[in-house]
Amino acid sequence: MTSSSQLLRDRIKEEYKKCALSAAYFLTKYCYIQHPVRGRVLFDLYDYQKNALGEFQEHDYNIVLKGRQIGISTLVAGYALWLLLFHNDKNILVIATKQETAKNLVTKVRFMHQNLPVWLRGEIVTDNKLSLQFTNGSQIKAVASSKDAGRSEALSLLILDEAAFIDDAEIIWTAASSTLSTGGQAILLSTPNGVGNFFHKMWQQAETKTNNFNPILLDWRVHPERDQAWRDRQTELMGELQASQEHDASFIFSGNTVVPPEIIEFYKTTFVQEPVTKAGFDGNLWIWEYPKPGKSYIVAADVSRGDGEDYSTYHVIDVETSTQVAEYKGKVETKQFGNMLVSVSTEYNDALLIPDNSSIGWNAIQQVIDRGYKNLFYMSRDLQYVDVEHQITGKYHKEERGMVPGFMISQRTRPLIISRLKEYMLENSFTIRSSRTCAELETFIWKNGRPEALQGYNDDLILALCIGLWVRDTALRLRQEGIELTKLALDKTKYNVEGMIYTNKNMVKNPYEMQIGQETENISWLLG
């Protein structure tokens, strides 16, 4: 017969295995935390905490954009303890703005460890305010941020606590990331602290999947004990801007964005979606809709300067619905970019191709011309006349006097096309599907009266979009003017001369055809 002590040992082994296999099981079953109101309580994880914990285990690099007081720092401490106890030779480093802040996380680890059952506790060989070291070779250490923090350390897990507030975060990450490349993990967590800093940049890149970080957004709404009434009280207590940053996990913009932040957020939550496919040699061509027969498209492009600091970009826009159907953003040689423009424009039903023609842009345009693309956009040299409709109807010849290929972004045209973009977005009359474009809009600000990208960011997608919307709007406006002219002409032609009857009975089927006696005549020439 099995003794009770043997049964107990078997039970402990079974529980130990469960804890080792599942961090969530370990935390909810055996870990105690210090609650600010209820005191010492078992760490009963909320669903959002369990999900975040699963993300930590699934992904090597995680970035957490969080609201205040939702228990994420405590969760990270619990995850660190699980790694320390059930894995040998783990080296965990906690970095924060101040040593005291970093120490707080280690203190949470210590509290959880001290309140574990005896059979779960790993033996500690070193215990001071800033570090814990276990007999299995695992350790955790807390340090204040500095340019040398984490340098030359062989790290298993790097935790940047309140990363948005660490001045040297980018330098620290550059130094430490090389030590993580062989299988280490990183968790960057913070409430927002404006835009333009390292944390904001890394979050944007994670959202657009242009870095290796897995984004985890945890604002006040994830907490089951909070409702709108609670959120309204926070506004009363600290004001809307502060409450938005502290609880909504909303980045407060540095400077005035050209497009209001609430409008950008509306587009992100309403229209932004993953592309159907990511194509091209570099995977940077995002496609939401493939070309449809009979559809008219515009391809608007901004060509990089060629200095490696900016990007060549283009948008494919459905002329009638004013919808972004494809987008490219990448660093590519200008001649190759010209070939790409010809290819995508041809594929989208010989779309009207509108590259910018400033400085280096001419290299791409020349390639388009050399390839003989037949629907390249031309505008007047004096910038007073953009003959879009003339080109769409196929009646335009590039040899006409005073016309140059491409669109010129100048001191005169830049504020006009940017203003048009703002109007489109405020009126919700254009559909942006790209997270990359929205990310650029979040850092596109007024600086000394000039709209431009925040330092360290780009506006290449924005400028290409501005070109496309300006030309698209011009085309539709001219087309509408033509339609109104046609209607006016038809209203004046009812009955007439020599017994012939002029009617517009076919207008429902084709507004550009009218019946004259027994003959049908096409009147689309009125639009030319």
Q: Which domains does the chain have, with CATH numbers?
A: 19-252 (3.40.50.300), 270-477 (3.30.420.240), 493-527 (no CATH)
pTM of the predicted protein model: 0.67
Mean pLDDT per 10-residue interval, the chain, length 528 residues: 77 92 94 87 94 94 93 95 94 89 91 93 88 94 77 83 89 84 88 86 90 94 93 88 83 73 90 94 94 94 76 94 95 92 96 86 88 86 50 53 78 86 90 94 85 87 94 67 51 39 39 52 48
Distances (CA, A) of 279 to 27, 288, 353, 367, 464: 43, 11, 20, 22, 19
SS3 label, residue 89: coil
Q: Report pLDDT digits (tens) over 111-130.
A: 999 999 999 988 899 888 88
Gap between the Cα atoms of 97 and 145, Å rounded: 5
Gap between the Cα atoms of 395 and 17, Å rounded: 77
Q: How much is the pLDDT for 361?
A: 77
Q: How much is the pLDDT for 28?
A: 95
Gap between the Cα atoms of 217 and 296, Å rounded: 39
Work out whether the CA dihedral 24, 26, 29, 34 comes out positive or negative. negative
Distances (CA, A) of 248 to 67, 187, 221, 223, 226: 6, 20, 8, 12, 12
Pairing of strands 312-318, 297-302: antiparallel
Gap between the Cα atoms of 91 and 503, Å rounded: 86
Name the token pair of 91: 């080296």
Q: Are 358 and 407 in contact (CB under 8 A)?
A: no
Give me the amino acid identity at 14.
Answer: E
Q: How much is the pLDDT for 265?
A: 87
Q: How much is the pLDDT for 345?
A: 96
